[in-house]
Amino acid sequence: MPTEKPRCRWAGNDPLMRDYHDKEWGRPIRDSRMLWEMLMLEGFQAGLSWQVILRKREAFRHAFLDFDPAKVAKFGEPEIARLLADEGIVRSRAKIEATINGARIYSQIQQEAKKTGEDFSKWLWSFTNNKTIVNRTGIIHTETETSQKISAALKKRGFKFVGPVIVYAWMQAVGIVDDHSPDCYRSKAKR
């Protein structure tokens, strides 16, 4: 029997969570659209477990047209009604409306980037000087000063469901923070 790789404890024994841990969690994402998608999914996760969202992720992608911000930004009451009836996703009107609004804000940022050169990805990564914050203390935070700053900046832009705890979980997911435990095989200290 092969020896099991040591992983972060949260990955547990669930194959979906382990696969997510091994292939996605903590890997730096620089693609603006994907950063936005993950931020919206983290917003849906508020009050729930990530496992619930991960199990519904494909249904979310289908429901929100592959998280195409230009398409989602055009959603109105008929699409909201469709989404509220979709049993495959989290049917929270507030979270659905926050995602539609988030698509509009994202699109505005991307439009402004044509003049400024700072797209959604560059803007968000600028909070860490374009570097991943590596945590090898074994102490996992729920929020940090950086997540508080990003949260405040997102809220100032009009995003919803982007409190500092949600933002920190998002930072971990998209690799702005590398919080793999010191004994995890994915820990940079062991690479």
Tell me, yes or no, if 168 is annotated catalytic. Answer: no
Annotated catalytic residue: which of 10, 20, 79, 97?
20
Tell me, yes or no, if 42 is annotated catalytic. Answer: yes
What value does the CA radius of gyration of the chain take, rounded to a whole number of Å?
17
Tell me, yes or no, if 50 is annotated catalytic. Answer: yes
Of 41, 20, 67, 3, the C-alpha closest to 180 is 20
Annotated catalytic residue: which of 10, 24, 50, 79?
50
Annotated catalytic residue: which of 36, 37, 42, 168?
42
User: Which residue type, as a one-letter code, is found at position 137?
Assistant: T
In terms of DSSP bridges, do strands 177-178 and 133-134 run parallel, antiparallel, or are they unpaired? parallel
Structure tokens at 90: 């989290």
Instruction: Write the Ramachandran bin of 13: left for phi over 0, alpha for psi from -120 to 50, otherwise beta.
Output: alpha
CA 109, 35, 28, 30 torsion-angle sign: negative
Please give the Cα distance from 145 to 103 (Å, whole number). Answer: 26
- Other Cβ atoms less than 10 A from the Cβ of 43: the count is 24
Asked if 177 and 132 touch (Cβ cutoff 8 Å), the reply is: yes
The residues that are catalytic are 20, 42, 50
